[in-house]
Amino acid sequence: MNVLVNGLPGKMAHIVAEVCAERGFELVPFSLTGEDVSAKSEKVGNADFELLKPSEREDKIAQILKNYPNLISVDYTHPSAVNCNAEFYVKHKIPFVMGTTGGDREALMSLVKSVNHPCIIAPNMAKQIVAFQAMLEWTAANFPSAFNGYSLSVVESHQKTKADTSGTAKAVVKSLLGMGAKFNEGKDIEMVRDENNQVGRMAVPEEHLGGHAFHTYSLDSSDNSVHFEFRHNVCGRRIYAEGTADAVQFLSEKITQGRVGVFDMIAVLRG
């Protein structure tokens, strides 16, 4: 199994490449990157990866696919690249694991489903958080009025370089709204990207300001006599990289079995 980790020199792509190497996957010595990246290569461990900009990748991909058959791509690029990267993978029949959040998710799903493209798409690759999400989805489906009359507030903190609102927060909010909770007028998911607030308000350890995910979901009854709070705080990125490597292994097995199609991390957990 050959793995093309896209998004270098980004930190998430770095740790995914490291974990995939630890798992014994063969890493393809290339990585799709942004047009504005000035570096030509990036080192991960002792390996060098040639960085390919959108304007360069078409010239290289045929040879890459010839040299590295059974290739699976992992995408940790930028939200603005999600849809064009997916179109590239579909065009060249490259199975992929989409770890990048953002982009036009409806268009993304429509594209891959239209051709039954083998891929895994999820707003969060951390298995434990995905299990938490599944629990909330089940509750929303079975107890849709559990939080009727409750007001919802949500705050999420990520490293200041994260450009979009957390996809995980959006998914959890969808489930909580499905249980009858409501945002107060004018409220929405609050993004905290200021490092002073992250340390002082969100209690993020300073050594993890460059990579963390702190989420708090609060529910209050109409008279404020009852308060529920769900929280998941992640320092570092390894939890996502481990789940991504599991997703790569799962997708490879499904392709080998001839079971192509669109999967999510719930399928990976069940598998």
Label each residue of 132-201 as H, E or C: HHHHHHHHHHHCCCCCCCCEEEEEEEECCCCCCCCHHHHHHHHHHHHCCCEECCCCCCEEECCHHHHHHC
Catalytic residue positions?
158, 162
Residue 270 CB partners (closer than 8 Å, separation 6+): none
Q: Which of 133, 145, 220 is nearest to 183 (CA)?
A: 220
Instruction: Return d(Cα 108, Cα 271) in angstroms, integer.
Output: 24
Q: Which of 162, 220, 218, 217 is nearest to 192 (CA)?
A: 162
| Cβ(87)–Cβ(62) below 8 Å | no
| Cβ(62)–Cβ(38) below 8 Å | no
